Amino acid sequence: MRSFVFTLGFHEDFAIRRLTSKAAQKGEPILVFTAKPAVGAVQKAYNSLREFCRRVDLEEPSLTELDLSDGPRALVEARNLMGQLSGLLVVDVSGGVRALVVVTMLALLALGRDYELYAASETGTGFELHLPAGVAKALSRLSEEKRLILAELAKSPGLTVEGLAKRLKRAPKTVRNHVAELKKAGLVAARGRGELELTSWGRAVAGAPGRERESG
């Protein structure tokens, strides 16, 4: 079960692309945030999105206008609404004004929920940023021991759990549990015979230069 969250401006194409690429299903909620008041162009984009969802038998998107002139209140409202959603949050902040995107992101951080994030241009041209599920949560809740593991792997890619345990002077079982959580978060990958390396996101969190081959 997933729930979809979009920030909406004058174009709905990005939201339709995301729903299609993620193979959205009937029963998965779709929450749409926009700036208050929703002007004509925004209403038109929302109506087009709603028509698409109706045509392919998805849930009708729920539109919420956030009063960005009162940032704290808008943040609380966004957080509360997203808090009512179930499952993994698939969030696309490719649309809408910058303040809307910022409020939505701050609300996500305040929730402490795991989510998958996308950001691109509304028209689909240029780059697309994808923050995998697990990475965002790890960024805000990474323990000191997990940071030490990332730092060691940044310096010495290919270490095993036993090698890490020896360097960090920790029990192998403890290190193995930490590594399992880091792998689940998408920060560490295994290759060969238990050799560990950082993924691209793991290197970003560790602040390591360069780029290792990403596995798994």
One digit per residue, the tens of pLDDT, for the chain of length 216 reads 899 999 999 999 999 999 999 999 999 999 999 999 999 999 999 999 999 999 999 999 999 999 999 999 999 999 999 999 999 999 999 999 999 999 999 998 888 778 999 998 776 677 888 888 777 767 667 788 998 999 999 999 999 999 999 999 999 999 999 999 999 888 999 988 889 999 988 887 887 655 444 433
Euclidean distance between CA atoms 27 and 126, whole angstroms: 32
41-63 burial string, b = 16+ CB within 10 Å, else e? ebeebbeebbebbeeeebbebeb
pTM: 0.76
Q: Which residue has the tokens 């560990």?
A: 196
The backbone torsions φ and ψ at residue 123, rounded to the nearest 5 degrees and listed phi first, read: -90, -5
Q: How far is CA 130 from CA 90, 120, 182, in A?
A: 11, 9, 18
Would you give the end-to-end CA distance of the chain in angstroms?
23
| Alpha-helix runs per DSSP H in 62-171 | 71-83, 98-111, 135-140, 144-155, 161-168
Cis status of the peptide bond prior to 37, with omega within 30 of 0: yes
Burial class (CB in 10 A: 0-12, 13-18, 19+), 98: exposed
Query: What are the angstrom distances between the C-alpha of 28 and each of 2, 40, 51, 96, 108?
Result: 6, 27, 16, 22, 18
Ordered domains of the chain (ranges, CATH): 2-131 (3.40.50.11700), 139-206 (1.10.10.10)
Q: What is the pLDDT of residue 211?
A: 47
